[in-house]
Amino acid sequence: MDPIATHSFQLERICQAQLDRFAQELAFVVRPGDLVLLQGDLGAGKTTFARALIRALADDPEHEVPSPTFTLVQTYETGRVALSHFDLYRLSSPEELDELGFEHLLARGAVLVEWPQRAFDRLPAERLEVSLEEPGDGDLVTRNMRVEGHGEWADRSQRLQAMHQLIRDAGYDGDKVQLSALAGDASTRRYGRLARSTCTPRTALLMDWPRQADGPPVRDGLPYSQIAKLAEDVRPFLAVARALLENDLSAPKILAADIEDGFIVLEDLGELCYAEALAAGIKQEDLWRDAVNVLLSLRPVAADQPLLVGNGETHLLPRLHRTILEIETELVPDWLWEAVHGRQPPEAERHRFQSIWTPIFSQILAEPTGWMLRDYHSPNLLLLADREGARRAGIIDFQDALQGPAAYDLVSLLQDARLDVAAELESKLLAYYCAKAAAMDASFDEARFRFIYAALGAQRNSKILGIFARLARRDGKNRYLAHLPRIWGYLERNLSHPKLGALAQWYEDAFPASVRTHTISV
């Protein structure tokens, strides 16, 4: 049998504040099923480290953490991960682990073990070991720490070391620095906030984005991520952020980056997303107009030139292509039809749907290409009230940007899937965009642009209907169903364009108004 992989690193003479912050860094990467062993002599600081780790997971610096010396195990529900804290110093035999429910607790969450040497033979080989000791020269204030990952933890401990070093390189290494995890979405990226009580800026964001393995092939032997040209590591994010900043737009500044390991420390643009700004009483028209001005600013910026990543590499925005449009709209017959009708669509209806889209896609792809940020809607826009003009709109989540029709981002914004945009406001801001675009470019064809806007709106909202149906039926995420009436409403606006009559008729035949309000079968 091949020996299990290992990776280790050493931190020398770290003070208590640095020990606590490393516990926060470990808490940032811990996930269910993880086993972390704490080793060291009496007084080495194991329990202090454990307490800091648990408080970081609980996001509460005052969280009560009793010693498990007499109970042998204490359990915590932290919101991020269930954690069980074992102290095996008083373990009479390794078999007692069974009575304590060790395997069950490891299966449902993470496990932290002090004095693991009492039961090494019963502990899984896949683990992270953290060893603490005094420096040995009479220094009772600092500690030396050795971190060693085994099995899957070998790669993860290497990334943990890289993350620790990047945080230091970014200047967040003082005694008054805290790292706290931020609530995330379903993406492969995770975020934390670095905060310090001294110096400016006081906060920054840590992005953790490991390169992802390709998923199963879905068409022509390719996984969906490759077909849809989704970013697979931090390089596109860095390149697009740099380009937006160079054009005086409010992407987050890059403070430090480890490209190979997938970590970035970036400017913290705050938390006042457009939904919260609306709730705070900011006028929707003002917010959305700022975001429209961003898109107008991008119109003259070439999208077909290599963008600098920042390490000598370049990134070229992929072009929107037919397969992307096809695979997204086919979510309607693949998922929405069955969710509404309880069965797969007849092949004739599927073929009719595809054949209607074919000439529409040809017209979309014949358009001149520009910047297409792709996920340009309220969850990815922040109000920066202290800035002026287009810079008032903070832009995040742009790593999947393409070269494509300029109308795509405008329809994403003015037909926001998560928030209502009234038809009157949409019409007003669409007219505003067209007037400004025509003033910038004498060749701007407003009638043509409005058709491409409606066609892309129909394509995008078709995709979203299919995605939300899939999220409910396949993944059990029923909360997305609440957005369906809004999406149907946007789709109907687009289908009212005279050149989309055949598509409007297909939708009327397949999903008449009487069934569009039905609850999707989950």
Cβ neighbours of residue 479 closer than 8 Å, sequence gap 6 or more = none
pLDDT given at position 519: 65
Which of 150, 175, 200 terminates a domain? The answer is 175
For the ranges 209-223, 284-298, 487-501, which has the lowest average pLDDT?
209-223
Q: Please list, residue by residue across 194-231, b when 16 or more beta carbons sit within 10 angstroms of its beta carbon and e when fewer do.
A: bbbeeeeeeebbbbbbbeeeeeeeeeeeebebbbbbbb
For the ranges 297-306, 357-366, 369-378, 512-521, which has the lowest average pLDDT?
512-521
pLDDT given at position 2: 60
> Around 47, how many Cα atoms within 13 Å sit in the side-chain half-sphere?
15
Find the angle CA(474)-CA(479)-CA(481) to the nearest 5 degrees. 75
pLDDT given at position 139: 76
Judge if 150 and 282 occupy the same domain: no
419-473 pLDDT tens trace: 999 999 999 999 999 999 999 999 999 999 999 999 999 999 999 999 999 999 9
pLDDT band at 187 (very low <50, low <70, confident <90, very high): low
pLDDT given at position 237: 97
Number of structural domains (the chain) is: 2
Q: Residue 442: which CATH number?
A: 3.90.1200.10
Judge if 284 and 414 occupy the same domain: yes
The mean of the pLDDT values for the chain is 93
Residue 237: inside a domain: no
Q: State yes or no: pLDDT of 513 exceeds 90.
A: no
Residue 392: inside a domain: yes
> Which residue has tokens 């009483």?
281
Characterise 138 by phi-psi region: left (phi > 0), alpha (psi -120 to 50), beta (else): left
pLDDT band at 338 (very low <50, low <70, confident <90, very high): very high
Tell me, what amino acid is at 367? E
SS3 annotation, 92-106: CCCCHHHHCCHHHHH
Q: State yes or no: pLDDT of 515 exceeds 90.
A: no
Cα separation of 142 and 175, whole Å? 13
Residue 224: inside a domain: no
pLDDT given at position 188: 79
pLDDT band at 518 (very low <50, low <70, confident <90, very high): low
pLDDT band at 522 (very low <50, low <70, confident <90, very high): low
Residue 304: inside a domain: yes
Which of 175, 190, 206 terminates a domain? The answer is 175
Which residues span the domain enclosing 344? Answer: 273-516
Residue 72: inside a domain: yes
According to DSSP, the residues that pair with 503 across neighbouring strands are: none
Please say whether the beta carbons of 350 and 336 come within 8 A. Answer: no
Percent of the chain with pLDDT over 90: 80
Q: Which residue has the higher pLDDT, 94 or 510?
A: 510
199-247 pLDDT tens trace: 777 899 999 999 887 788 888 888 888 888 899 999 999 999 999 999 9
Average pLDDT for residues 101-106, to the nearest whole number?
A: 95
Residue 522: inside a domain: no
pLDDT band at 8 (very low <50, low <70, confident <90, very high): very high
SS3 annotation, 415-473: CCCCCCCCHHHHHHHHHHHHHHHHHHCCCCCHHHHHHHHHHHHHHHHHHHHHHHHHHHH
Please say whether the beta carbons of 325 and 364 come within 8 A. Answer: yes
Judge if 279 and 427 occupy the same domain: yes
pLDDT band at 1 (very low <50, low <70, confident <90, very high): very low
pLDDT given at position 79: 79
Please say whether the beta carbons of 494 and 461 come within 8 A. Answer: yes
Cα separation of 492 and 455, whole Å? 12
Torsions phi, psi of 436, nearest 5?
-65, -40
Residue 182: inside a domain: no
Q: Residue 12: which CATH number?
A: 3.40.50.300
Cβ neighbours of residue 73 closer than 8 Å, sequence gap 6 or more = 84, 85, 86, 87, 100, 101, 105
9-20 pLDDT tens trace: 999 999 998 999
pTM of the model as a whole:
0.93
26: its two tokens? 């470990």
Cα separation of 468 and 470, whole Å? 5
Cβ neighbours of residue 400 closer than 8 Å, sequence gap 6 or more = 228, 229, 230, 231, 236, 374, 375
264-286 pLDDT tens trace: 999 999 999 999 999 999 999 99
pLDDT band at 149 (very low <50, low <70, confident <90, very high): very high
Characterise 113 by phi-psi region: left (phi > 0), alpha (psi -120 to 50), beta (else): beta
According to DSSP, the residues that pair with 15 across neighbouring strands are: none
Residue 204: inside a domain: no
pLDDT band at 117 (very low <50, low <70, confident <90, very high): very high
